[in-house]
Structure 1
Amino acid sequence: MVSSTSFVTIAAAVAVSVHQVQAHGFVENPKSEFKGSENSDWVVQIDPQWKGDWAGAKGDEALVALYKELKVANNAKDIRTLFDSDTSLYGENCGFTNPDATPKDPPTDGTATFSRGIVHAGPCEIWLDDKMVLQNDDCQSAYGDGTQETIAVFKPVDYSSCAAGGCMFRFYWMGLQRLDGTPYWQVYKNCVPLTGPPGGGAAQTSPSTGDGSNVSQTSPSTGNSDSPSSEA
């Protein structure tokens, strides 16, 4: 006979499993390939690296507002610079995806598609080599409705800056997660090699941004003076 305690334990495990499944995802189009089996997990889950009242930020809007405030306070240009600054902390480049996979043709409709809905607040970026072509400080609200059923479609993405010989599509996402009341940063990194631009066309000079401004961004700085500061 199965005890009531066992039922409670099983129910808790199922609840955690469902929550984790909802939290994950990867770039579906252009198609991500993986170094091993398909893995939609975050690369690392860590404590917030900028000092602030993360525990006191209740709800997604408060978390995003705090992120924006601390982004300015820490002189953070973009999350790629932050995530690539220390792979021992933020996880290896490209995460679980294979940057040496067979190059894929870029979408011709100026979009990129996630494997499911974005279900955590937080910023995301898309880069083609060293040019940022899409950025938003809250990709959950910008590209979905907070459910995994509504597939996140990132747009507009201008692929015309991709070199004729190919380029690397890079996706970065910081999921602002809260587990049992404790705040965390979830780090996602996807890389997809592309064959080139989708038929040419004039290059877009400014990426799509989530703060209402047009910011032309090129290669992220790797020097200490320009890297966003982090606090453990």
Structure 2
Amino acid sequence: MSESLTADVGRQGESASSPDAVSFANVEYTWSGSSPFTLAIADFKLARGEKLLLLGPSGSGKSTFLSLLAGIVVPGKGKIDVLGTDMARLSGAARDRFRVEHFGIIFQMFNLLPYGSLIDNVLLPLHFSRTRRDRARADGALDDVATDLLATLGIDRTVIATAKTANLSVGQQQRVAAARALIGAPQIIVADEPTSALDRNTEGAFLNLLFAQSGAAGASVIMVSHDESLARYFDRVVRLDDIAVATRGARSQ
């Protein structure tokens, strides 16, 4: 059985009955570079449709946690189950396909194409996932779907039609990044400090719009931040040091 078919069977079987979108069990990952770092997570779950805020200071292992969650790296020990699929059983290429089909990611620095149009940026993930492209097409022509999503997130339609991404404000860039993550209805939205450059009023408005769109699609949202004041917007708040043990330097066996 091919890896892609194995993943499909997992999504149709265990995935359909499990209340959790993500489950970590006895996970341990070690980065063995010039400054060795180990992150161990005994137990973590993200429910389907849940909005979860993961708090932790800089250097606490949040980026490593997100890399494990999204299958960018795999644990040396334990199991990470995402939508009924054991991520460690997939090859690197299969994990890449799984990630683009099922994850929408909002990066801290947005990672937009600076001289592309807003529509080009929003449609980018659909070039790599037929599944998301087909889901988006179910709502109409792709350019129209992207335009409507951007407008719903608060960008003027004149700006959508004429502007290049490099000329947008930080708040507008953030909304383009959110639309790119949301298009094609991925089941899990991962946001890495996406509000760090915004003031309080803009921050709250953005989160409310993000949750309205992700909620309409039934997606789970996990956002990592160091800002405890964001807690009021989420269903659940988890501190990374309550679920994970980070060890720096060589780890004894």
Query: Going by fraction, where is helix more abundant, 1 or 2?
Result: 2
Relative contact order: is structure 1 or structure 2 higher (C-alpha 8 Å, sep ≥ 6)?
Answer: 2
Q: When the two structures are superposed, what TM-score results if normalisation uses the length of structure 1?
A: 0.25
Q: When the two structures are superposed, what TM-score results if normalisation uses the length of structure 2?
A: 0.24
